[in-house]
């Protein structure tokens, strides 16, 4: 039995290595996004919301110190860097001016929106925003950094041809801040073309700058998070999916965004036939965890945060993870939900595996 396990492990990892050493090997990764992929930019801005991530238990599991990641440990982007044998991406705001970081940089900022803040201010919900470092600001940072990486178009093309560009997850905050300000799901549907438009514009810019391989992620099933299950709870039983306990209408909305995005990616593929635009199905891979939590080593039953201040989903708006009244669970690896909105390292690891070699990226990341 033990020999069998070792053999299976041997073959799995051997095939992953040979797949990596062939065609799809990257010299660098550049990432844009929000808190699901921020590796430390947010605490380096002068933002004043959600500073709990600057202290333990954030970071308790792997790094053993808070790094600015919104989890107990590593994120999807960290596991993807590991898979390609690259160092963890340094946050852009920690990179010294003019430093030549050849293996990639992370531009993601916690709380970032896809659409520019001016839109939210015009809608009178600008006050809700945690940061102004939206997708277009992150693109500006990329252009700044580019100057230190390469100076001629040829040199840039050479470097970026061997780089993986990850866009997203981004857009969740656009919707979340709108919902928290009282917008209905119905109103939000009209907002989807704006959010997706911001994402597709960013993709075009990156391709014009020399990106060839791009991984664009869709939305997660946010209606399964402990935060949504608490804040948008319903007394109507039929609001919930029987199998998972997730909020059906919210999940249907995030799926709607994904379908809209996938259509637009198809247009981009026609517009830029030389580019390899991959769609990363965050929704599908996370849903497989919510459907069969025990299969992944998590507790079954209704989704519950590892770290929180009580209540049926262990999410309490007046005592969120990191604040007085909230405590972390003993074994985060038994939970998928970390703090009500972000995942634990274990869950991010499963999601990353699904994207890298589990068939949840299309066309596949490894081919």
Ligand X SMILES: *[C@@H]1O[C@H](CO)[C@@H](O)[C@H](O)[C@H]1NC(C)=O
Stretch that binds ligand X, among 141-149, 291-299, 314-322, 342-350 (CB under 6 A): 314-322
Question: Is 78 one of the annotated active-site residues of the chain?
Answer: no
> What is the per-residue DSSP string for 200-253?
HHHHHHHHHTT--EEEEE----GGGSHHHHHHT--S-GGGB-TTT--BHHHHHH
> Which 216-255 residues touch ligand X, going by CB under 6 A?
236, 238
Count of all residues that appear for the chain in the document: 367
Torsion of CA 279, 280, 281, 287, to 10 degrees: 180
- Report, in Å, the least distance between residue 320 CB and ligand X: 9
Q: Is 270 a residue that touches ligand X (CB under 6 A)?
A: no
> Which 57-116 residues touch ligand X, going by CB under 6 A?
none
- Using only the alpha carbons of the chain, give its radius of gyration: 20
- Which of 339, 346, 349, 350 does the annotation list as catalytic? 339
Question: Is 213 one of the annotated active-site residues of the chain?
Answer: no
- Report, in Å, the least distance between residue 309 CB and ligand X: 4
- Report, in Å, the least distance between residue 257 CB and ligand X: 20
Residue selected from 245, 311, 358, 364 as contacting ligand X according to rule CB under 6 A: 311
Mask for 39-58, x = binds ligand X (CB under 6 A) = --------x-----------
Distances (CA, A) of 188 to 127, 192, 207: 18, 7, 29
DSSP class of residue 279 equals E
Question: Is 281 one of the annotated active-site residues of the chain?
Answer: no
314 three-class SS: coil
Q: Is 131 a residue that touches ligand X (CB under 6 A)?
A: yes
Beta bridge pairs of residue 280? 217, 361
Task: Go through 173-183 and write b for each residue having 16 or more CB atoms within 10 A of its CB, e for each that does not.
Answer: bbbbbbbeeeb
Stretch that binds ligand X, among 70-78, 147-155, 175-183, 309-317 (CB under 6 A): 309-317
Binding interface with ligand X (CB under 6 A): 47, 117, 131-132, 236, 238, 309-311, 316, 318-319, 325
């Amino acid at each position: 039995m033990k020999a069998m396990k070792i053999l299976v492990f041997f073959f799995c990892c051997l095939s992953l290595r040979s797949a990596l050493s062939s065609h799809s090997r990257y010299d660098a990764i550049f990432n844009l996004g929000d808190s699901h992929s921020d590796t430390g930019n947010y605490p380096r801005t002068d933002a004043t919301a959600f500073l709990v991530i600057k202290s333990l238990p954030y970071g308790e599991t792997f790094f053993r110190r808070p790094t600015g990641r919104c989890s107990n440990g590593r994120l999807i982007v960290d596991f993807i860097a590991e898979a390609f044998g690259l160092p963890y991406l340094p946050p852009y705001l920690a990179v010294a001016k003019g430093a030549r970081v050849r293996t990639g940089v992370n531009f993601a900022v916690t709380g970032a929106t896809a659409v520019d803040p001016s839109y939210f201010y015009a809608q009178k919900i600008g006050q809700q925003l945690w940061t102004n470092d939206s997708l277009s600001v992150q693109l500006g940072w990329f252009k700044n950094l580019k100057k230190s990486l390469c100076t001629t178009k040829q040199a840039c093309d050479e470097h970026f041809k061997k780089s993986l560009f990850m866009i997203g997850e981004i857009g969740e905050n656009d919707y979340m801040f709108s919902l928290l300000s009282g917008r209905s799901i119905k109103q939000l549907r009209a907002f989807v073309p704006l959010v997706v438009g911001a994402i597709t514009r960013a993709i075009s810019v990156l391709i014009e700058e020399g990106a060839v391989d791009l991984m664009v992620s869709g939305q997660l099933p946010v209606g399964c998070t402990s935060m949504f299950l608490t804040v948008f709870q319903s007394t109507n039983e039929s609001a919930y999916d029987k199998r998972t306990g997730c909020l059906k209408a919210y999940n249907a909305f995030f799926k709607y965004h994904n379908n809209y995005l996938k259509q637009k990616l198809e247009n981009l593929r026609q517009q830029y036939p030389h580019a390899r635009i991959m769609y990363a199905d965050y929704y599908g891979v996370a849903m497989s965890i919510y459907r069969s939590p025990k299969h992944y080593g998590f507790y079954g039953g209704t989704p519950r945060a590892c770290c929180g201040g009580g209540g049926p989903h262990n999410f309490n708006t007046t005592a969120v993870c990191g604040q007085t009244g909230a405590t972390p669970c003993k074994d985060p690896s038994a939970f998928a939900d970390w703090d009500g909105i972000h995942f634990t390292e274990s869950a991010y690891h499963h999601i990353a595996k699904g994207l890298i070699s589990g068939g949840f990226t299309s066309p596949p990341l490894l081919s």
